[in-house]
Structure 1
Amino acid sequence: MTTFAKSSLLVTGASGHLGRIAVEALLARGATNIIAGTRDPSRLADLAARGVEVRKVDFNDAAGLPQALAGVERMLLISTDGIGTRVAQQTAAIAAARQAGVSHIVYTSAPAARPNADAGLNPEHFWTEIALAGSGIGFTILRNHMYAENNLADAAHVIASGQLFGLIGDRGTAYVTRADAARAAAGALLSAQGNSIEDVTGPEAVTNEARAALYAQISGKPVSVIPLQPAALKAGMVSAGIPEGFAEALLAFQKDAVTGHHSVVTAVVERYSGQKPQSLRDFLVANASALSA
């Protein structure tokens, strides 16, 4: 559906990976009043040439945000990359949206967002969700599950070593591609009404055992899962050069896979985008060159 195709639609972070795809999806679906928000408008000159209004939208400039959001009816608030500062950034954006009269916000959150101290990056999403729920603005919270692209960060190393390290008891992760998540977000911006919280997932939950099997099938090399306790997994990440804070965040993701938070599977991508989500297998096959880099 494109109920709001003629409304003023703002995509924040439009020069980023997910934001850019969302803008392209809005164009493809006939939106006529798209605003691409970015800290650096020069990066979106090509979109401006295609009729998209490009605005400087800087979440660190709280005083300037109401003017930056002037005239916006619906906003896709893409979670920033400012880990440690994004609660302040995003709550400032929500406050400015309320002041500017924005009627609906679509926010890209994370699965099982909660304030627990050991929940990795989830508290930042949780407090943003709380601010949004208390704003009086209509909202659609899209809890994007683990991006399939994240596998490419270490897949080549895993395949070369033949070992995939993970926590004991992994119950699977419903990996979703950024493209699918972005198209779903665009669809929600075009059609969602009322207030809702929805999980954005791929078509199936993939365990570490299944992921290792996919790596082996695609690469032609054996890959075994090495199940570990949390302390051992974190120690291994730190010894491999991963900063301790980031290792804690990665460990929190894996703990959530053990408790089942990441194994949820929904039809949200298809409902909002009109397309079935790509499977992890198909994604890895399409990016097979990255598995041997």
Structure 2
Amino acid sequence: MTQTADLLVTGASGHLGRAVLNHLIGTLGVPAARIIATSRKPEDLGEWASRGVTVRKADYDDPATLSAAFSGVKRLVLISTDALDEPGKRLRQHKAAIEAADKAGVQHIVYTSLPDAETSAVSFAPDHAGTEAAIKASAIAGHTLLRNSWYSENVLHALPHALETGKWFTAAGKGGTSYIARDDLALAAATALAADFSGKRTLSLYGAKPWTVDEVAELARKATGKPLEVVQVSVDDLVRGMTGAGLPEPVARVFASFDAAAAAGNLAGSDTEFRALTGREPQSFEEWFTRNAVPVLTQAG
């Protein structure tokens, strides 16, 4: 019996998108013939085409590509884009995708959002809140809003430089972040896409427990044997430090907002809803750190 391609993953050439495809086929056993993978650069998806996945072009800045991309789709994962270079651009892109999905008759949309999207101190939280609102306002029958906590991988943005200098400047205070590996969040998205759930739900996906900057710094000290002092500063001082090091101020303010969100408790929670969705426990942050961060930090000299 011929399989119909009815499950679509957007942003499939990105890290999260590729991991979602891996879990759909490898973990969940979804036939490749049921899966559509889209990207602005479909030529980057040759590996998946060779495995039987349907590959289509979808460019949110070119809405004309979206109607063809979403044709025949019943369920769709909308992976949030990385368009942060222009205020409002990402929300416009997401709204274009939601409108196209609505017109194409998509029955369920899975969206990768952010915890506390309406109130979070993360600077781009309004993009997520606006996207969630657009999904709810559409005629699409069902949705699963996955409010993804901070990737474990994000600790590697600051840690290598902090170990080089011996100081980790932060505005997070004693606020904790419930880190969760990108691959676990990909499993959650794949599970939600492949499920027969047809209603409307919002799930907050966190790692098992929150980690403060002090606790992560202690892991790094033990793993590398290097001294590392955590220095608490204000958000404005953190921005000034980053711009002094050469970061453009808009970028520095985005990064500083992550610390502000941690301080406000926006990124702390439990893994209850992740386990309920996937039937698994997420990889512990300690295990992830040992496998993935330690080799990077020790090789950095």
TM range (shorter): over 0.9
1:254 corresponds to: 259
Letter in 2 for 1:131: A
Describe the SS at the equivalent of 1:112: coil
2:76 corresponds to: 75
1:110 corresponds to: 114
Task: Classify 1:6/1:204 alpha carbon distance in 2 versus 1 (closer, same or farther; 3 Å).
Answer: farther
Q: Distance in 2 between matches of 1:153 and 1:170?
A: 19
Of the three residues 229, 233, 254, the one matched with 1:228 is 233
Describe the SS at the equivalent of 1:140: strand
After superposition, the C-alpha distances for 1:113-169 in whole angstroms (9 at most, x for unaligned) are: 1278x6401111111111111012211111111111111123222122222111263
Contact residue 23 and residue 186 of structure 1 kept, 8 A = yes
Q: TM-score, normalised by structure 2?
A: 0.90
Q: Distance in 2 between matches of 1:174 and 1:6?
A: 38
Q: CA deviation at 1:266?
A: 2.6
1:270 corresponds to: 275
2:173 corresponds to: 169
1:289 corresponds to: 295
Superposed, 1:211-222 pairs within 5 Å as 211-222=216-227
Superposed, 1:40-119 pairs within 5 Å as 40-83=41-84, 84=86, 85-114=89-118, 119=122
Of the three residues 142, 151, 155, the one matched with 1:147 is 151
Q: Distance in 2 between matches of 1:119 and 1:172?
A: 14
After superposition, the C-alpha distances for 1:170-213 in whole angstroms (9 at most, x for unaligned) are: 32001111111111110111124311111111111000110111
> Which consecutive aligned stretches of 4+ in structure 1 deviate over 4 angstroms post-superposition?
none
User: Percent identity among equivalent residues?
Assistant: 40
Q: Distance in 2 between matches of 1:207 and 1:216?
A: 14
Tell me how large the CA RMSD over aligned residues is.
Answer: 1.8
Q: CA deviation at 1:223?
A: 1.7
Of the three residues 11, 14, 17, the one matched with 2:12 is 14
Q: CA deviation at 1:38?
A: 1.1
> What are the ranges of 5 or more consecutive residues in structure 2 without an aligned counterpart?
none
Contact residue 183 and residue 272 of structure 1 kept, 8 A = no
Letter in 1 for 2:63: A
Describe the SS at the equivalent of 1:20: helix
1:123 corresponds to: 126
Contact residue 186 and residue 273 of structure 1 kept, 8 A = no
